[in-house]
Amino acid sequence: MRLIIALIAIWVTVSAGVLTAQDFSAAKKKKCPEFCFSGAWPRPSGNRSARNCPLPSQAEQTLPDALNGALQCEWIIATQNTLEALHLLTIPDPADNAVLDTSQAGEQRTKAVRHALCRLIQGDPDDSDTFCAAMGNPDDCGRPTATALSSFVDALATANRFRDSKKALNEDELFGKTKKLIDDIFCDKAHGGQQALNEVNDYFTQKHKYVAFVLLLDAYGRFCARGETCPADLELLRAALGTSPDRLAAQVAEKFSKKLAGQ
């Protein structure tokens, strides 16, 4: 538990600062380290237009804007890669957690950065420059060589197309939809849905919202593994986290308060 908290704290305290269009252009000149494109990390082919992704807009002139567009794309075309990247940046690998203690959190963090970046680039190589710049152009050991976006994990966890005015949902409509998704998880006995939600609730209660959210996505991913609506449903959950994490947490907690009340 201490290791999880330490890793989250490190990410939250990464150097802040909104980069300008000029800063972004300079950052993009530095290429992502070659380890992302060799050996165990083959570079796939494809591009946004050919894979049903929105093309970069004129508004994507700052790094945060470009990152939001890139992550929206990544979640559509490579859902599993994106989920794995979020998992790496919020929850330590259990195999590593068994042998690491909090004094080694720095080493664990750089390893997580390295692998998370590779997952993102593997899923959407056309936005590799954006991912590299947003994560501080990590070297081959995962250490940033430039200022990383302090909001990177939040952007990864909340990227969604509902921020577009043409797709926007009002808050009540959005949380009406997420309530059904949480109900589906709770009733999913085949995959231990109730137990999974109980763990999600514990982390939300402890104010570790990103750890809780990764576990929530994992739980729903097991439920909808064969469903065509799975990416769209996960997007609803991301939109809910970005809109009101407290309201999303309350929807999870409500399942257990009702159970305790005998409903």
Q: Check whether 47 has a pLDDT greater than 60.
A: no
Other C-beta atoms within 10 Å of 101: how many? 11
Question: Is the whole model's pTM more than 0.85, yes or no?
Answer: no
CA distances from 212 to 91, 149, 225, 242 (A): 10, 22, 20, 14
Output the pLDDT for position 240. Answer: 96
Output the pLDDT for position 5. Answer: 43
Stretch 98-105: mean pLDDT: 35
| pLDDT, tens digit, 9 for 90 and up, residues 114-135 | 888 989 988 888 888 888 888 8
| pLDDT, tens digit, 9 for 90 and up, residues 206-251 | 999 999 999 999 999 888 765 556 888 999 999 999 999 999 999 9
Output the pLDDT for position 10. Answer: 36
CA distances from 199 to 124, 137, 156, 215 (A): 31, 34, 22, 8
